[in-house]
């Protein structure tokens, strides 16, 4: 059983945390994030640390104890450094470009696919075949990356599609005569 919840989350210089009515608000140089707390855990801010404790020793409370601690830790990392995910596009004629705030993908369909990122997420098309997704909310950055990747997942025969940087696509052998 993991006991990650017992470790306090350190607040770096310039980051403040505040607990009000079962919500935690973390503010830093990149912005602010809030988290609704489950009723099974308590959060206290004391001396540059955020401590999470559980009400009762039930299975649900133990699970939420560690999860809440890690969510607060991700919030602190997000408002100080931010999160970044890189996507690669492979395939002949496959490319991406930003038109204003909208991402335009040409990924082998008869039409171009347009994607508008949610508030707080920025997408940069560094190269026509490379996308960088940044933001302060780790869950939101990962969700946007997964939605873009889901538009054209890498296929196993030629490896064409959108994949995470460093992702290894398991290839299949083609048809034989």
Owner of token pair 């707080």: 120
Tens-digit pLDDT string for the chain (177 aa): 568 888 999 999 999 999 998 899 999 999 999 999 998 899 999 888 999 998 888 888 888 999 999 999 999 999 999 999 999 999 999 999 999 999 999 999 999 999 999 999 999 998 999 999 999 999 999 999 999 999 999 999 998 999 999 989 899 988 888
- Could you tell me the domains of the chain? 4-80 (3.90.930.12), 83-164 (3.90.930.12)
Give one word for 10, left, alpha or beta, with left for phi > 0 and alpha for psi -120 to 50.
beta
């Amino acid at each position: 059983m993991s006991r990650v919840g017992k470790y306090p989350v350190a607040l770096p210089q310039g980051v403040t945390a505040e607990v009000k009515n079962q919500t935690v608000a973390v503010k830093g140089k990149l912005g602010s994030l809030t988290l609704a707390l489950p009723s099974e855990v308590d959060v206290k801010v004391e001396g540059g640390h955020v401590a999470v404790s559980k009400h009762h020793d039930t299975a649900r409370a133990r699970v939420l104890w560690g999860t809440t601690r890690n969510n607060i830790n991700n919030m602190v990392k997000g408002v100080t450094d931010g999160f970044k995910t890189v996507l690669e596009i492979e395939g002949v004629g496959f490319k991406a470009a930003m038109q204003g705030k909208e991402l335009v993908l040409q990924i082998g369909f008869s039409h171009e696919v347009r994607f508008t990122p949610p508030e707080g997420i920025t997408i940069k098309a560094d190269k026509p075949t490379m996308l960088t997704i940044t933001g302060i909310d780790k869950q939101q950055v990962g969700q946007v990356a997964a939605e873009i990747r889901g538009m054209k997942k890498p296929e196993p025969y030629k490896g064409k599609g959108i994949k995470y940087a460093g992702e290894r696509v398991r290839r299949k052998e083609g048809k034989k005569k």
